[in-house]
Structure 1
Amino acid sequence: MYDPIHADHTYFLFLLLLSNEVLFAYDATKIKEKLTPGKGEYFSSTVIEIIDGDTVLLANNMEVRLVGLQAPKIALGRKDFKEWPLGYEAKDVLSKLIIGKEVTLFYGGRELDRYGRTLAHLFTNDNIWVQGEMLKNGMARVYSFADNRSIVEEMLEEEYQARLQNRGIWGLEFYKIKPQEESGKYTNSFQVISGRIRDVAEVRNNTYLNFGDDYRNDFTIVIPNRVKKMFQERDINLTNFKDKNIFVRGWLKYYNGPSIDLSHPEQLVIQ
């Protein structure tokens, strides 16, 4: 099992390789056991439209956001929107997986987003976990939230396998893991950043994982006390992170240098 805190794996980035085959490495039945099934008319329905690589429309008029995923973005009528590489390819892969098929809905936390879309994991009648297949095909990356993280570890494992198998987005510079030294070039976007923690500092209500000598300009991970408590519940002491090599994912902003605020522990992986 992939451990998002103490991982022994090294991430590899390779050339683009797409595959349309369904790949089974997970146990869909065990994954369902960690989730809550929908009820009544919200338990299952047929997929009638693929909106993009992580959003679908069902016959019961539910618009479902495939929770935990971030697929490459397409314009969808947005003016001046710059489309991401492989957006239409991701949509095509999802279409081949589930268009016209009946799917069951399972939940791992918050069930609706601010746009009124349903946040669910989808499973086909032949026990295919849709999120798992998109990740394993390299057509999405893990994009988790503090209020919806029941099976993040399983999702990270599928993402990792895509890296090992040279699949999808991971061979493209646009999605490549960025070294912390270059993080300042990519602010105001979702990124996966790698680097070595130089220092751990506790100041007021936050813990800061600093990656350079100048905290005002170098990359920093900010961990609020409420998130620190989540680490403590796992018997993880943040001060032990000093000199560790890590991967961290999240919204990269610029405030006293490039930084990512953690909202849950699964955002951080130690090599």
Structure 2
Amino acid sequence: MPRIRWVQGALLAGALFCSVAYAATDCPSGHIDAHARVAHVIDGDTVILTDGRHVRLIGIDTPELGHDGKPTQPFAQAARRALVRLLADSGDRVALRYGRTRHDHYGRTLAHLFLADGASVSAALLRGGYATALVVPPNLWNVACYGQAESVARDGHQGIWALPRYQPVSARALPPGAQGFHIVRGRVAHIGRSRNAQWIDLEGGVALRIDRKDLAYFGDVDFKSLRGAEVIARGWVHSRRGEHIIALRHPRALTILR
């Protein structure tokens, strides 16, 4: 039985990679800032270049490999293998387009990566169902294109989008110890503003927080009109005093259903 499960997993990974390779020409670079070679793939969204720089891919987030006693998340190994394969087909040569913010708080270089043929690495992984589209201002270039690439996998229930963890869950049904990435659906019970943030409270004890520095990106949202509306929010869940909190950095993390 274990051997059968392994074979099924291998076939699934192969099918997903075919989808990745076929659609990898989406989201062209526009311009390139630098060329480099990849020396090592850490995980599905982080690589080390031959010059020693750690590069975190802009626009995506892949499942986490286990470390510090935490288990490896489903599809984390598959995402890493898919990235290794993409880079190998490119001779490990990549082109970089840097983000408006060039480094994250870990000191990693933030960049969009493109293969030797101009194919977008992030778009390929998104379309294969290995990653979620991640928007972190002010690095907003290609946000719409990456969102479209993700929707192909999501609509086709490919990869991570076939897992229960990536399906919308009611705010009322989110378990007390929930952590990590979730897609939460609920009705807005209250709208409030604190000194440093805009708050959207959902029925069921989930609060959506938009930091003051990110409010400008939500300029088209009439927060007062949201009370009673049904919304879907996506992001990382944190708990404080028994309440779940999801920080929203960009409107693409919030879908208003009414």
TM-score under structure 1 normalisation? Answer: 0.78
The residue number in structure 1 matching 2:222 is 237
Q: Helix, strand or coil for the counterpart of 1:94?
A: helix
Normalized per residue, the structure richer in helix is 2
Matched-pair contact (CA < 8 Å) for 1:184–1:258? no
Candidates 16, 19, 26, aligned match of 1:19: 16
Matched-pair contact (CA < 8 Å) for 2:62–2:131? yes
CA RMSD of aligned residues (A): 2.4
For residues 160-199 of structure 1, what are the structure 2 equivalents within 5 Å? Answer: 160-199=151-190
The residue number in structure 2 matching 1:158 is 149
Candidates 82, 86, 90, aligned match of 2:79: 90
Q: Could you report, residue by residue, the CA deviation over 1:92-139 in whole angstroms, capped at 9, with x for unpaired residues?
A: 111111133311001232111222221111111212100011011000
The residue number in structure 2 matching 1:37 is 32
Instruction: Give the partner amino acid of 1:238.
Output: F
The residue number in structure 2 matching 1:226 is 213
2:43 aligned with 1:52 = yes
Q: Helix, strand or coil for the counterpart of 2:17?
A: coil
Q: Helix, strand or coil for the counterpart of 1:111?
A: strand
In structure 2, relative to structure 1, the CA distance for the partners of 1:71 and 1:203 (3 Å cut) is closer
| C-alpha displacement of 1:25 | 7.8
The residue number in structure 1 matching 2:122 is 131
In structure 2, relative to structure 1, the CA distance for the partners of 1:184 and 1:50 (3 Å cut) is same
Q: Could you report, residue by residue, the CA deviation over 1:193-230 in whole angstroms, capped at 9, with x for unpaired residues?
A: 22232332345554322222xxxx61121234433333
| C-alpha displacement of 1:64 | 1.3
In structure 2, relative to structure 1, the CA distance for the partners of 1:170 and 1:44 (3 Å cut) is same
2:250 aligned with 1:264 = yes
State the alpha-carbon separation in 2 of the partners of residues 172 and 149 from structure 1: 28
Instruction: Give the partner amino acid of 1:219.
Output: V
| C-alpha displacement of 1:57 | 2.1
Could you list the runs of 5+ residues in structure 1 that have no partner in the other structure?
A: 1-15
Identity score, percent: 28
State the alpha-carbon separation in 2 of the partners of residues 194 and 28 from structure 1: 29
State the alpha-carbon separation in 1 of the partners of residues 25 and 225 from structure 2: 32
Matched-pair contact (CA < 8 Å) for 1:108–1:151? no
| C-alpha displacement of 1:166 | 2.0
Could you list the runs of 5+ residues in structure 2 that have no partner in the other structure?
A: 1-11
State the alpha-carbon separation in 1 of the partners of residues 27 and 238 from structure 2: 36
In structure 2, relative to structure 1, the CA distance for the partners of 1:205 and 1:63 (3 Å cut) is closer
Bigger Cα displacement from structure 2, 96-105 vs 191-200 = 191-200
| C-alpha displacement of 1:169 | 0.8
Q: How many residues align?
A: 240
| C-alpha displacement of 1:245 | 2.9
| C-alpha displacement of 1:258 | 1.2
In structure 2, relative to structure 1, the CA distance for the partners of 1:47 and 1:226 (3 Å cut) is closer
State the alpha-carbon separation in 2 of the partners of residues 221 and 20 from structure 1: 35
Instruction: Give the partner amino acid of 1:95.
Output: V
TM-score under structure 2 normalisation? Answer: 0.81
Matched-pair contact (CA < 8 Å) for 2:165–2:182? no
